[in-house]
Structure 1
Amino acid sequence: MASSPAPKAHIAQTLLSRAHSPDSATQQFTERVKQKPLFLRATSPSASDNRSRRRLERLRKKEYFIRHQKPRPLSAREKRKSGLYDLPKEECKYAIFKGLHDLWVGYMQDVLDLKSNHAVYITPNSHGSKLVSADYHGAEVEVVRSRCAGRVGVKGIVVRDTKFTFVVVTQRDEMKTVPKEHTVFRFIVPLPKRADSAESQQKESAEDCKPLTFELHGSQFENKPVDRANKKFKWRNIDYV
């Protein structure tokens, strides 16, 4: 019966025996090669590890951004639910908003350059863009034309200027919502009082002291105040109702 062949020596043991003595080669092979721990997992990260690391980094950046960003603005539904635009009935008094109207008159006099020392001529080309871009919270408007005859004659101070409506408080302390569509509003801007001498005041005729009267066509004015400030308006034909 043939004997089994002798086991082949390890290549590392063969190389060590060429450089060292038999005892030293055997010891180094046992300690450094044979008994050396073998790591089954590769030292470099795999593709899945890199993917998870990038995902964690994105989540940390997102959490940091959310933690340091400004509060998220409320939606229209959340504003209605919280009652942000609700006006208490006990505070909707004409006398309360009369002070707001006085402030608005001074604001419009500045917009129309009425407080300047030189003569001012109000024309559509020179002041039309200023009038359509102005804010009308506090203006006292009167409905002079409307498809709904019941709205004609409604007069009050604007307490809310929305995209499609004017909410006004009348002298009877009543709140009324007037749609802008197919409605013409009239408002008056009084001239500022000049500190002149009594003789010059007498020379001024009664016609020069008349306030300025404007009419606002609501169908061409269906914009929010914040949107009107930077919007360029174009001349259009007016469809009278």
Structure 2
Amino acid sequence: MTTPKPHIAQDLLSRAHSPDTAEQLFTERIKQKPLYLRPTSPTPADNRSRRRLQRLRKKEYFYRKQRPQPLSARQKRVSGLYDISKEECRYEVFKGLHELWVQYMQEVLGIEKSADKGNNGRPLVISGYAHGSKLVSADYHGAEVEVVRSRCAGRVGAKGIVVRDTKFTFVIVTKGDVVKTIPKEHTVFRFTIPSTPIKASAEETSNNDKMEGEKTKDFVFELHGSQFENRPVDRANKKFKWRNIDYV
């Protein structure tokens, strides 16, 4: 019976160390060393899971870099994005908005500048050719409008602050805290802008009235809704041309 040959590692260790140390190192580092095994080629199931993981990572990266899509009109209606709660639909709540709108329109028409310069005692003249494009492209959220002409007689006389300006309608809140939706088509609206700056004090206003010799009149405008069927965003960047329109 042949004796087994010693392990090559044991032979090398015996040359460098004593017999006890060589035996201890061979036992701890050679015999008792764990051997980790893995298959040389993955199974088809592993290939499928790896491809699926790669697809998920690519999709996650794509969604992370992609901008969120805007909500559709149906999603906005379902989510109630444009709904106004009944607690907020009060005239007193939007009264402050109307005062801000008056200051905004006075700045657009140049009423504040003419008041600061004094205008040499002459009243400010507003014409369609000079100020028509500014009035058309202005924002009317907060304007207090009154229906003066309409095909529906029940809408005539309705007056309130505009809380929503859509393409085809004006949504207003009346002094009785009633929300009304007035279509623009075949409807004429009237709104008023004070001729004196709203920031001016009572003494300054009285002095100006005495200098002019008569009480200043406010500017009254009429807005034809059939020619005003545009959203505020579209009106701000749109160029309008002056033309006369005959109404029967």
Partner of 2:145: 141
- Count, aligned residues: 184
Q: Cα deviations across residues 58-80 of structure 1 (Å, max 9, x unaligned)?
A: x94x7534312332211100000
Aligned mate of 1:74, from 60, 68, 71: 71
> SS of the residue aligned with 2:87?
helix
Q: Cα deviations across residues 82-137 of structure 1 (Å, max 9, x unaligned)?
A: 00001111210011111110110011111111110343431111111110000000
Partner of 1:206: 214
The separation in 2 between residues aligned to 1:198 and 1:176, in whole angstroms, is 37
> SS of the residue aligned with 2:241?
coil
> SS of the residue aligned with 1:173?
coil
Partner of 1:129: 133
Q: Name the CA shift for 1:78/1:198 in 2 (closer, same or farther; >3 Å).
A: closer
1:173 and 2:177 aligned: yes
Q: Name the CA shift for 1:71/1:151 in 2 (closer, same or farther; >3 Å).
A: same
The separation in 1 between residues aligned to 2:176 and 2:207, in whole angstroms, is 41
Shift of 1:239: 4.7
> SS of the residue aligned with 1:206?
coil
Partner of 1:230: 237
The separation in 1 between residues aligned to 2:131 and 2:62, in whole angstroms, is 46
Q: Name the CA shift for 1:97/1:68 in 2 (closer, same or farther; >3 Å).
A: same
Q: Name the CA shift for 1:74/1:165 in 2 (closer, same or farther; >3 Å).
A: same
Aligned mate of 1:96, from 86, 93, 98: 93
Q: Name the CA shift for 1:198/1:109 in 2 (closer, same or farther; >3 Å).
A: closer
**After the TM superposition, which residues 109-120 of structure 1 pair with which residues of structure 2 at under 5 Å, given as runs?**
109-116=106-113, 117-118=116-117, 119=119, 120=124
8 Å Cα contact 2:129/2:242 also seen in 1: no
Shift of 1:199: 5.1
Partner of 1:34: none
Q: Cα deviations across residues 124-168 of structure 1 (Å, max 9, x unaligned)?
A: 111111100000000000000111111110000000000000000
The separation in 2 between residues aligned to 1:101 and 1:197, in whole angstroms, is 21
Q: Structure 1 runs of 4+ off > 6 angstroms?
A: none
What is the root-mean-square deviation of aligned Cα atoms in Å?
2.4
Q: Cα deviations across residues 13-62 of structure 1 (Å, max 9, x unaligned)?
A: xxxxxxxxxxxxxxxxxxxxxxxxxxxxxxxxxxxxxxxxxxx89x94x7
